[in-house]
Amino acid sequence: MPRHDSVTIKIPATTANLGPGFDCLGLALDFHNTVELALGAVTEVEITGEGDGQLPQGPGNLVVRAAARLAAEVGAMVPGWRLYQHNEIPLARGLGSSSAAIVGGLVAANELLGSGLDKDRLLQLAAQIEGHPDNVAPALYGGLTACCIDEDEVVCLRFNAPEGLSLGVVIPSFEVSTEDARGVLPQQVPFGDAVFNTSRAACTLAALVAGKWDALGVVMDDRLHQPYRMPLVPGMSEVIEAAREAGAYAAALSGSGPTVIAFAPEMNNEILEAMVRTFGRFTVEAVAFWTTASNEGAVIAEPGPR
Ligand code: HSE
């Protein structure tokens, strides 16, 4: 695939919800997908890393679909796209792989076509494609984001990523589709649970913005989605508890799961070992690593090695 007339975009992994902030809070993480996009006579897709052999390699590819959405938005006729994507973000694990694809496709096509749509417009398009804004916002802007939807318009507030917080990512070997994970949620919740969550979501955001990590242990709790998703992620509550007992401030289901993410004062491997061991008690195999929050959203990058 020729490298001229192409644009390369690096997009971060993300964790959404952060416990109580369902469909609202999101945080960019320090590992990435890269998309290299060029115009072509037909659509050709090459994938390395996560999703190689699994993701669509034609017009159904999500990066391509997002690029096509951008082209339609600005009235550009594009016969095909040539896409090379290198993925570090595992699929369907709650770490923003689909958001990275959507944001990558939109930002790359915007650059390639010289469309000049601003980030707010790109966010609106990304949230329309994804269906909710909490992963696409940090994937686009980086940092910590809080979003709500007002009559189809996403309102997004961005804050700098919390500094000095270590994030332990524990990824089970199985996938959970966001569709399935949303399918188990109730139509209605008790008023008390709504109050439980609105108060904790506000306190979680405040604790992260103010650097008051100790508060996370109390406020990063949830009654809107995690309890309903427990059957999809065996051992989830026990893994969250194990993280806390081993020294994390708090832990939560990452996005719609099955990954559990721990918020810790330092990269103490005993925390990850305790979490992996606890998943093991439920016959769930998991891999674990440390990362940090990142202020960098989707950015233009140098083409990577093939
Ligand atoms: N807020 C979303 C959910 C994130 O929990 O379903 C997953 O995309």
Cα 76 to ligand 1 centre (Å) = 32
Q: pLDDT-based confidence at 5, cuts 50/70/90?
A: confident
Unique residue bearing structure tokens 């699994």:
54
Q: Ligand 1 within 6 A of 256 CB?
A: yes
The ligand 1 atom at the shortest distance from the C-alpha of residue 182 is 6
Res. 305: pLDDT tops 70: no
Each residue's pLDDT tens digit, 234-287: 999 999 999 999 999 999 999 999 999 999 999 999 999 999 999 999 999 999
- Which residue lies with its CA nearest to atom 1 of ligand 1? 23
Q: Ligand 1 within 6 A of 69 CB?
A: no
Section 84-99 average pLDDT: 97
Each residue's pLDDT tens digit, 136-146: 999 999 999 99
Angle at alpha carbon of residue 281, lines to 275 and 285, rounded to 5°: 65
**What are the residue boundaries of the structural domains of the chain, listed by start?**
6-160+294-300, 166-292
Q: pLDDT-based confidence at 306, cuts 50/70/90?
A: low
Each residue's pLDDT tens digit, 174-188: 999 999 999 999 999
Cα 22 to ligand 1 centre (Å) = 7
User: Which of the listed residues 145, 182, 185 should we mutate to test ligand 1's pocket, taking the one with most ligand atoms within 8 A of CB?
Assistant: 182
Q: Which fold has domain 166-292?
A: Alpha-Beta Plaits (3.30.70)
Q: pLDDT-based confidence at 192, cuts 50/70/90?
A: very high
Q: Ligand 1 within 6 A of 132 CB?
A: yes
Res. 3: pLDDT tops 60: no
Contact 147, 154 (CB under 8 A): yes
Q: Do domains 6-160+294-300 and 166-292 have the same CATH topology?
A: no
Helix axes 62-74, 119-130, angle to 10 degrees: 130
Q: Rounded CA gap, 51 and 45, in Å? A: 12
Contact 297, 12 (CB under 8 A): yes
Each residue's pLDDT tens digit, 28-54: 999 999 999 999 999 999 999 999 999
CATH 3.30.230.10 fits domain 6-160+294-300 = yes
b/e burial code for range 61-79 (CB count within 10 A of at least 16 → b): bbbbbbbbbbbebeeeebe
Q: Rounded CA gap, 81 and 6, in Å? A: 10
Tokens of 129: 């494609």
